[in-house]
Amino acid sequence: MTKEGNEIRWGILGTGNIAGKFAEGLKAATGARLVAVGSRAQPSADAFADRFDAPNRHASYEALVADPEVDIIYISTPHPMHAENAILCLDHGKAVLCEKPFTLNAAEARTVVERAREKGVFLMEAMWTRCLPVLARTRELIRAGAIGEPRLLVADFAFRAGWNPESRLLNLALGGGGLLDVGVYCASLAHWVFEDAPEDVAGLAHLGETGVDEQAAWSLRFPGGRLASCVSGVRTSTKHEATLYGTEGSIRLPSHWWKGTRLILTAGKSTEEMDLPYPGNGYTCEADEAARCLRKGLLESPVIPWAETVATMETLDRIRALWGLAYPQERS
């Protein structure tokens, strides 16, 4: 898979906002090189490639996936394009790191995962927060029994975007709404800390003028009565905190937990604050994890396994169904 020893040669598909942050993060990743960029138009491919010093600049995604110098492609298009873009990459034998939410819905997620399995090509959801040291430490503490049995997760991630109905965040056709954009972080965290999928979901949303969930409050019940209570949104700012309460204590991930370095462990009467590293700009960690898997010849990352990615999309589908929120791509 990889050429020139251990070096991993990256391509970036889509040259928007997050693509730039990821490209920045790659600079600090171990043995990584950005070799190619693919955009729908030559000028944006050139501008991005100039900015990040990428030698190969392609005026179509098809040209990018045909580039023999690329080992793995990071997909950073709006959510409704993720499945099609990922399949294009996999069909050309390119490993994939695909932005969150992995796809628009669980059916698409299953299709993409099946294609990776069939083709024997590496695939990973770019749920970058999961790769941060603070979450790795959180899981270690949970598994070591530091807070007893985890019983309740309370997590929020909502922010106020400006009013632009055409924007990715508010436009229904571009997969707009808070649940898919940022609620996915909370849902993913719940699946991660409980190491399970919910048996029931409940929730309310305010669907605004453009039909997207501008803000929402929702809950998940996991087997054994474990609960997650979450808030997501794109028109109201919240604190961005997450706390996991157990039978013997709690782990608090203070603001902004999804890009955090600190955890506060309370066990009995003692409280301990721990500060964890934040390599590069945070996105560096997911690039390192994907590269580690590629070097080992893995098809999926044990940190973000396919089954959990699909289960998280299933949870988001179930929550959206409560609100009657379907995207145009889902209406036949």
Ligand X SMILES: NC(=O)c1ccc[n+]([C@@H]2O[C@H](COP(=O)([O-])OP(=O)(O)OC[C@H]3O[C@@H](n4cnc5c(N)ncnc54)[C@H](OP(=O)(O)O)[C@@H]3O)[C@@H](O)[C@H]2O)c1
**Number of C-beta neighbours around residue 92 at 10 A:** 17
Print burial letters for 112-132: b (CB count within 10 Å at least 16), e (below 16): bbebbeebebbbbbbbbbbbb
Take residue 154 and report the two structure tokens written for it: 């309370």
Q: Output the smallest distance, CB 313 to ligand X, in A.
A: 13
Q: Minimum distance from CB of 218 to ligand X (Å)?
A: 18
Q: Which helix (H) or strand (E) holds 8?
A: strand 8-13
Measured from the CB atom, is 19 or 147 closer to ligand X? 19
Q: Tell the smallest beta-carbon distance from residue 142 to ligand X (Å).
A: 24
Cα dist. 172→79, 98, 209, 219, 326 in Å? 11, 20, 10, 23, 9
**Residue 97: CB atoms within 10 Å:** 29
One character per residue 140-179, x = contact with ligand X (rule: CB under 6 A): ----------------------------x-----------
**Residue number with the smallest Cβ distance to ligand X:** 16
Distance CA 260, CA 253 (A): 7
For ligand X, give the closer residue by CB, 79 or 191.
79
- CA 250/CA 262 separation, integer angstroms: 14
The percent of the chain in helix, strand and coil, each rounded to the nearest 5, is 40, 25, 35
Site for ligand X in 120-139 (CB under 6 A): 126, 128
CA–CA separation, 315 and 105 (whole Å)? 9
Binding-site size, ligand X (CB under 6 A):
20
Of 203-262, binders to ligand X (CB under 6 A) are none
The 66-105 site mask, x for binding ligand X (CB under 6 A), equals ----------xxxx-x-----------------xx-----
Taking the complex as a whole, the smallest distance from the CB of residue 248 to ligand X amounts, in Å, to 33
Minimum distance between the CB of residue 182 and ligand X, rounded to whole angstroms? 8
Binding test (CB under 6 A) with ligand X, winner from 39, 210, 250, 266: 39
- Give 3 or 160: the residue with its C-beta nearer to ligand X: 160
Contact with ligand X (CB under 6 A) among 8, 10, 11, 14:
14
115 binds ligand X (CB under 6 A): no
Nearer of residues 146 and 170 to ligand X, judged by Cβ: 170
**Part of the chain binding ligand X (CB under 6 A), chosen from 14-22, 26-34, 103-111, 147-155:** 14-22
Q: Strand locations in 159-302, DSSP E?
A: 200-207, 213-222, 226-233, 242-246, 249-253, 262-267, 270-275
Q: Is 40 in the site for ligand X (CB under 6 A)?
A: yes
Tokens 């700012």, residue located:
237
Q: Does 18 interact with ligand X (rule: CB under 6 A)?
A: yes
Report the residue number, 6 or 237, with the smaller CB distance to ligand X: 237
Rounded to a whole number, what is the distance in angstroms from the first to the last CA of the chain? 39
- Pair 76, 12: CB distance under 8 Å: yes
Based on the shown chain and the rule CB under 6 A, indicate whether residue 188 belongs to the binding site for ligand X: no
Q: In the complex, which residues of this chain contact ligand X (CB under 6 A)?
A: 14-19, 39-40, 44, 76-79, 81, 99-100, 126, 128, 168, 181
